[in-house]
Amino acid sequence: MVKICCIGAGYVGGPTMAVIALKCPSIEVVVVDISVPRITAWNSDHLPIYEPGLDEVVKECRGKNLFFSTEVEKHVSEADIVFVSVNTPTKTQGLGAGKAADLTYWESAARMIAEVSKSDKIVVEKSTVPVKTAEAIEKILTHNSKGINFQILSNPEFLAEGTAIVDLFNPDRVLIGGRETPGGEKAVKALKDVYANWVPEERIICTNLWSAELSKLAANAFLAQRISSVNAMSALCEATGADVSEVAHAVGKDTRIGPKFLNASVGFGGSCFQKDILNLVYICECNGLPEVANYWKQVIKVNDYQKTRFVNRVVASMFNTVSGKKVAILGFAFKKDTGDTRETPAIDVCKGLLGDKAMLSIYDPQVTEDQIRRDLAMNKFDWDHPSHLQPVSPTAIKSLSVVWDAYDATRDAHAVCILTEWDEFRSLDYQRIYDNMQKPAFLFDGRNVVDAKKLREIGFIVYSIGKPLDQ
């Protein structure tokens, strides 16, 4: 029986390994993590992450061929294939601070693998890492092992949170990068054989190591760039009377462009887009390509601008002050169908409104009060000025409330801001909400989910991203 061990039981390690276990009953899969609470949760009825379909997959395999454990070294030493899916955040200190990937967790995982291994292993980069990381990992492994053969593969993950299980069941592609040596080719085949249990052969792409590593950064940069492009257009639409949905529809009908990922919004979030683009910017700078670096940097600058623009619009519309006014925030997660709040635009929007002394009342169906308070209390790392940290007043944080119902959040509010596209926000009883709000009642739709025309008929003053404004 082939044994797989995955180091890192997070948003990627957990779901990807659960699906491998489901699709490959003859493989034993153990997901290990140093975080005791995370592993405890994976072994309980309340999984540590919310992801549609995940509970069912885990319940089907857990205890049969899928295991979660904190015995990291034991399971690594017993595995044939070791996936490494640890976090690779942006460095906050030292060389490359604010841009470069922090590979501390990766390096310590690699050293531990070398230390505990007693048999040959395939080590798979599942985390998103800078191009050429495999070279560094190879050095760490070979210089610290006792004659053991390690083959390094790059197998970046393309799942999107909120649709992770669907994406893993039916991936657009699986990418495997390896060395063009007999050992490397054998390792690529072994990993290909795992995926071949459910992924059609034509969707499994094999490349050299550097192409695979760089493709992941490129894919995230292209996706984020699309969002920043449509968001940049949304600002121009508002200035000219064009409607960004009509523009996106017309543009997306061009088969060279395509219709996906063209929704204007308050901005992209999540743990990956910004971090991976910053990583790309740093790699370009290190390779003497400042103009290319600046090109990608602009994708993040437009995203920051979109969030600031939204806050400014809220404040300006409400007679230039939100001080002491109740503002309901609907949605805090960075997108629907996830409880993940990492880099969510809601953090910046809420901080902007708190800075103007608004009284926030926040509701998100999947995010806990503790999480929201932690996110808002945290100093945001300013990537452009790494020495600056934006201070947030503890009194401002105290003045907000977190509630478990959209109607509760909006009662007596002067304004509603929709920041996550949860389906339930499309079908709320907006007449009821309007009746219970202060007048004039403002609604700022940061995801373009409501029917602005109907809401205007009710009496709301509506702002939708990139749409003609209310007079």
Which residues participate in catalysis according to the annotation?
272
In contact, 83 and 4? CB cutoff 8 Å:
yes
For ligand NAD, the nearest residue by Cβ is 10
d(CA 210, CA 214): 6
Q: How far apart are CA 396 and CA 319, in angstroms?
A: 21
Between CA 29 and CA 114 the distance in angstroms is 20
For tokens 């601008």, name the residue. 305
Q: Is 10 annotated as a binding residue?
A: yes
Minimum CB separation of residue 89 from ligand NAD in Å reads 8
Q: How far apart are CA 81 and CA 152, in angstroms?
A: 10
241 is in an annotated binding site: no
Angle among Cα 314, 315, 320 to the nearest 5 degrees reads 145
Annotation-wise, does 87 bind a ligand? yes
The least CB distance from residue 104 to ligand NAD, in Å, is: 8
Query: What 3-state DSSP class applies to 354?
Result: helix
Pick the closer one to ligand NAD by CB: 261 or 305. 261
Query: Which CB, 101 or 406, lies closer to ligand NAD?
Result: 101
As a residue count, the chain comes to 471
List contacts with ligand NAD (CB under 6 A): 7-13, 32-35, 38, 72, 85-88, 105, 108-109, 127-128, 157, 159, 161, 271-272
Residue type, 148: I
Nearer to ligand NAD, 101 or 330 (CB): 101
| Residue 345 to residue 349: CA distance in whole angstroms | 6
Q: Any known ligand binding at 274?
A: yes
Smallest CA-to-CA distance from 87 within 261, 340, 283, 320 is with 340
Task: Provide the minimum distance between the beta carbon of 93 and ligand NAD in the complex, in angstroms, as a whole number.
Answer: 18
Is 128 a known ligand-binding residue? Answer: yes
* Of 205 and 316, CB closest to ligand NAD: 205
Q: How many angstroms separate the CA atoms of 20 and 167, rounded?
A: 13
Residue placing its CB nearer to ligand NAD in the complex, 108 or 208? 108
8 A C-beta contact, residue 175 and residue 209: no
**Of 54 and 233, CB closest to ligand NAD:** 54
Judge whether 161 is annotated as a binding position: yes
Compute the least distance from the CB of residue 246 to ligand NAD, in Å: 31
Q: In angstroms, rounded to a whole number, what is the distance separating the alpha carbons of residues 339 and 332?
A: 8
Q: How many CB atoms lie within 10 A of CB 64?
A: 11
Tell the smallest beta-carbon distance from residue 178 to ligand NAD (Å).
19
Closest approach of ligand NAD to the CB of residue 51, in Å = 10
State both tokens at 384.
């452009």
CA angle, corner 130, sides to 124 and 131, nearest 5?
A: 80
Check the annotation: does 89 bind a ligand: yes
Known binding-site residue numbers for NAD(+):
8-13, 33, 38, 86-90, 127-128, 161, 272-275, 342
Known binding-site residue numbers:
8-13, 33, 38, 86-90, 127-128, 161, 272-275, 342
